[in-house]
Amino acid sequence: MSTFKAPKGTYDLTPPDSAKYLAVREAISAPLKNSGYGYIETPGFEDVALFSRGVGESTDIVSKEMYTLTTKGGSELALRPEGTASVLRAALEANLHKLGNLPVKLWYSGSYYRYERPQKGRYRHFSQVGAEAIGAEDPALDAELIILADQAYRTLGLQNFRILLNSLGDKECRPVYRDALQEFLRELDLDEDTRRRIDLNPLRVLDDKRPEVQKQLVGAPVLRDYLCDACKAYHEEVRDLLTAAGVVYEDDEKLVRGLDYYTRTTFEFVHDGLGSQSAVGGGGRYDGLSEMIGGPALPSVGWALGVDRTVLALEAEGIELELPSSTSVFAVPLGEEARRVLFAKVTELRRAGVAADFAFGGRGLKGAMKSANRSGARFTVVAGERDLAEGVVQLKDMESGEQQAVALDALVAEVQQKLA
């Protein structure tokens, strides 16, 4: 223990658990890399206005959860609370949309920051893998993204997740619905805060988790009845494509999501083993966002999956990922000369592509063998003075317990052959 602890609402990833997080990031990004998505990385902070305009002043993320700071130079910045606005900003700045190759498909992986009330599955620093497809209005693109997220979760072995799907309409039909909903909500018995929300972002009231609010929402106008023909047809096509791909989803008329920029398709992945932090990921179409941040019209769609909650979901289902041991050979020298010889062998093994590690710190045989065991290495190589005098090392197979003397010069080839 030092004097310091990780800040409230944060936690460290340390071995061996950290390997699980890497594996989850890899599992989520693999289907994207395999589907034409290029990797993008953006700064951890941005001009605060990018989020207030892009994500929306009326959202919890911007109004309550953002970490903002003023730099010594007087710039107003915010630690990024989400990825989409930054990725779109970066794509526009690099003119990726002008290269004549739409949609621009991008994936990212990184840390996000929200000043939240910490609880299980809800942290102030968390990590997401996300995907954005920028500049095309095509229901197949919405379907592609949902299918790829589904594939990612399935390859991890997850089963108890559900996909909730809705359409939020577009700039034609949503305002009409919004008016009707506001009229309905104004008649209800609601607190001050929620009343204000009716004016700012009435759809969000539907998302209120409190039973006393939910009770009053029975009979509220539903967006589906207000969708224009174009939105209806678009949504039908997304649904058909998902069904054809064998992806099971649930229509959820109340699904509105916390960000202002969504239009048409919205979806959320929820996991039933996570209690109240049940959303493992979410996304949707955001046709108006580019213009909101000063860009051209670029209809787009994307999602972000939470790595932390995905790991919790794996734990909730009792899934142990098969993580191959990262070390294949562990070298244990006995004595000073052996230390030099085996250290050189370890270097040689590594250069030959064999994952190898070494008993550092000159501890005795017992301690070194403990490290060898803990490393999960398939083989240990032990050598003392007598072995070296004979030009051999002792190669021990940790699975079978068999041990044999191998000529020093033949060690690398022998190990490679055994591992193949």
Query: Which residues sit at the interface with ligand ATP, rule CB under 6 A?
Result: 82, 114, 116, 121-123, 126, 128, 258, 277, 279-282, 304, 306, 308-309
126 versus 177: smaller Cβ distance to ligand ATP? 126
> How far apart are CB 85 and ligand ATP at their closest, in Å?
11
Q: Least distance to ligand ATP from the beta carbon of 66, Å?
A: 12
**CA–CA separation, 148 and 182 (whole Å):** 36
Cα 108 to chain centroid distance, Å, stands at 8
CA distance 396 to 382: 8
Q: Cβ(276)–Cβ(249) under 8 Å?
A: no
The DSSP annotation for 375-393 comes to HT-SEEEEE-HHHHHHTEE
Nearer to ligand ATP, 116 or 252 (CB): 116
Tokens coding 415: 């190990």
Burial of residue 26 (number of CB atoms within 10 Å: 0-12, 13-18, 19+): middle
Query: CB 122 → ligand ATP: shortest distance, Å?
Result: 4
**CB count in 10 Å sphere of residue 119:** 11
Residue tagged 């197979």 (tokens): 397
Amino acid, single-letter form, for residue 68: T
Q: How far is the CB of 56 from ligand ATP (least distance, A)?
A: 12
Q: Give every strand in the sheet of 38-39, ordered side by side.
A: 38-39, 104-113, 125-134, 300-306, 279-285, 263-271, 161-167, 250-251
DSSP H or E segment with residue 137: none
Q: How far is the CB of 212 from ligand ATP (least distance, A)?
A: 19
Q: CA–CA separation, 36 vs 13, rounded Å? A: 30
Choose among 13, 15, 23: nearest CA to 319. 23
Question: Of 314 and 408, which has the nearer Cβ to ligand ATP?
Answer: 314
Backbone angles phi, psi at 337, to 5 degrees: -65, -40
Chain-centroid distance, C-alpha 294: 28
C-beta of 70 vs 155, nearer to ligand ATP: 155
CB of 94 to ligand ATP, least distance (A): 24
Of 105 and 309, the one with the shorter C-beta distance to ligand ATP is 309
Nearest approach in angstroms of CB 178 to ligand ATP is 20
In angstroms, give the least distance from the CB of 80 to ligand ATP: 11
In angstroms, what is the minimal distance from the CB of 275 to ligand ATP? 11
Q: Closer to ligand ATP at the Cβ: 46 or 357?
A: 46
- Beta-carbon neighbour count of residue 63 at 10 Å? 13
Is there a contact between 126 and 10 (Cβ–Cβ < 8 Å)?
no
Shorter beta-carbon distance to ligand ATP: residue 185 or 304 = 304
In terms of Cα–Cα distance, which of 120, 124, 144 is closest to 132?
Answer: 144
For ligand ATP, the closer of residues 217 and 410 by Cβ is 217
**Comparison of 306 and 333: residue with beta carbon closer to ligand ATP:** 306
- Give the H/E segment covering residue 90: helix 84-93
Taking CB atoms, the residue at the shortest distance from ligand ATP is 306
